[in-house]
Chains A and B, each alone.
Chain A
Amino acid sequence: MSPPEIVEPLPMPGGDAPVFAEPWQAQAFAMVVALHERGLFSWGEWAETLSAELKKPDAAQDGSDYYVHWLRALEVLITKKGVAGQPDVDAVAAAWQRAAHATPHGKPILLENDPVHGRE
C-alpha cells in the first residue's frame, strides 16, 4: 500500500478574478515592468528573484499573496542593485503612514502632509 498522498486543491479552477485585487498590486507590477524596461535588471534575473520568494514555505497555497512576494522580490532586487536598502524603504513607508494619519478624510494623501516632513 502506498502512503496517502496529500494533494493541494487548486484555487478556484477556471475562476476569473480581476487582474489586480488592490491598487497597490497594480503599482507594484508596473514598477517592475518599468525598471526592467529601463534596464535595471534582466527578465531572467527578475524571474529568479521572484521564484525564490514564491518558493518560501510561508507562501499561501491559494496564491492570494502573490503580489506580497512580488513586492518583496522587487525590494530584494533594488537592494542588490544598490538603489535603496531596506532601512530607506522602511523610513519612507513610515513617513507615508504618518502623512496618511495627518491627512483629513477625502483629501489626497501627500507625503508633505507627514508632520515630521522636512524636520529630519
Chain B
Amino acid sequence: MSHDHDHHHHDNELDPMAARVRALETILTQKGLIDPAAIDVIVETYETKVGPRNGAKVVAKAWSDPDFAGWLQRDATEAIASLGFTGRQGEHMQAVFNTADTHNLVVCTLCSCYPWTVLGLPPVWYKAPPYRSRAVIDPRGVLAEFGLALPEETKIRVWDSTAELRYLVVPMRPKDTEALDEEALATLVTRDSMIGTGLALEPGAR
C-alpha cells in the first residue's frame, strides 16, 4: 500500500493504428513480400528527396528554353525524365500550360493520384473530400478560397488525374523576370502553382 505512489508505469503503449501497421509489416515480411530495409528507403525518399523543387526546375527550364517547353508539351514524361526525375507515379505525365486565356487546375476525384516525381506527395487538402468534389463543380469558388481571383473571362480547365495519367501545371512566367536565370526562376515556382491553386510568385515576393 505505502509504496503505491512510488509505482511508476514504465510500459510502452502502441496505439491501435501503429499496432496494425506493425502487424502487417510482420506478416508481409514473414511471407517474403516486403523487406523492412527497403521500406525504410522508401520512407526516406518521400520524406526528404522527392518534392515540388523537382517540378519547379521543370517549369523554370520550360520558361527559359523554348525547345524544352515544346518537348514538355509534346511528351512530358520524356522531357521530365531528361532532367533525372523518373520513377513511381510519374510514368505517364502530361504538362498543361497556363495562358492568358486559360488557367489549368488539377484534381483527383477518384482518390489522390498526384505526380510524385515532380511534386512529392500531395498536401492534405488535395486528398480531402471537399477539394476532390468541389474542384470540378465549382473551380472558381475553390480558387477564391486559395486567394486566387481570376478575371471573369479567363477559362478554367480542370484535369482529373487517374492512376495512369498525372498532370503538371506550367504556370505563366511572371513579368519582369527576363534577367533571371533558371535557378532564380525556380524559386518563384510554388507547389500550388503547379497544381493550379496558385500562381507563380512575382520577383521580390520571397
Interface residues of A (CB under 8 A from B): 7-17, 19-20, 22-24, 26-31, 33-35, 37-38, 40, 42-44, 46-48, 50-51, 54, 59-64, 66-68, 71, 74-75, 78, 83-84, 88-97, 100-106, 109, 111
Judge whether A17 and B124 touch: CB under 8 Å: yes
Contact residues of A: prevailing secondary structure? helix
Measured in the bound complex, the distance between the Cα atoms of B109 and A48 in whole Å is: 11
Instruction: Knowing A7-B141, A12-B125, A97-B14 are in contact, say whether A47-B163 is a contact too (CB < 8 A).
Output: yes
Shortest C-beta distance, A89 to chain B (Å), equals: 5
Measured in the bound complex, the distance between the Cα atoms of B98 and A38 in whole Å is: 38
Q: Would you give the 0/1 interface string for B8-38, flagging 1 where the beta carbon is closer than 8 Å to chain A?
A: 0011111111111111111110010111001
Interface residues of B (CB under 8 A from A): 10-28, 31, 33-35, 38-40, 42-43, 46-47, 88-89, 110-113, 120-121, 123-125, 127-131, 133-134, 138, 141-142, 145-147, 162-164, 192, 197-198
Instruction: Knowing A14-B198, A24-B17, A54-B129 are in contact, say whether A19-B23 is a contact too (CB < 8 A).
Output: no
Shortest C-beta distance, B165 to chain A (Å), equals: 11
Judge whether B18 and A11 touch: CB under 8 Å: no
Judge whether B20 and A61 touch: CB under 8 Å: no
Instruction: Knowing A61-B128, A92-B23 are in contact, say whether A13-B28 is a contact too (CB < 8 A).
Output: no
Measured in the bound complex, the distance between the Cα atoms of B112 and A31 in whole Å is: 17
Instruction: Knowing A47-B113, A92-B26, A103-B12 are in contact, say whether A63-B162 is a contact too (CB < 8 A).
Output: no
Measured in the bound complex, the distance between the Cα atoms of B164 and A42 in whole Å is: 10
Shortest C-beta distance, B191 to chain A (Å), equals: 8
Closest to B113 in A: A47
Q: Which among A22, A62, A93 is the interface contact of B20 at CB below 8 angstroms?
A: A93
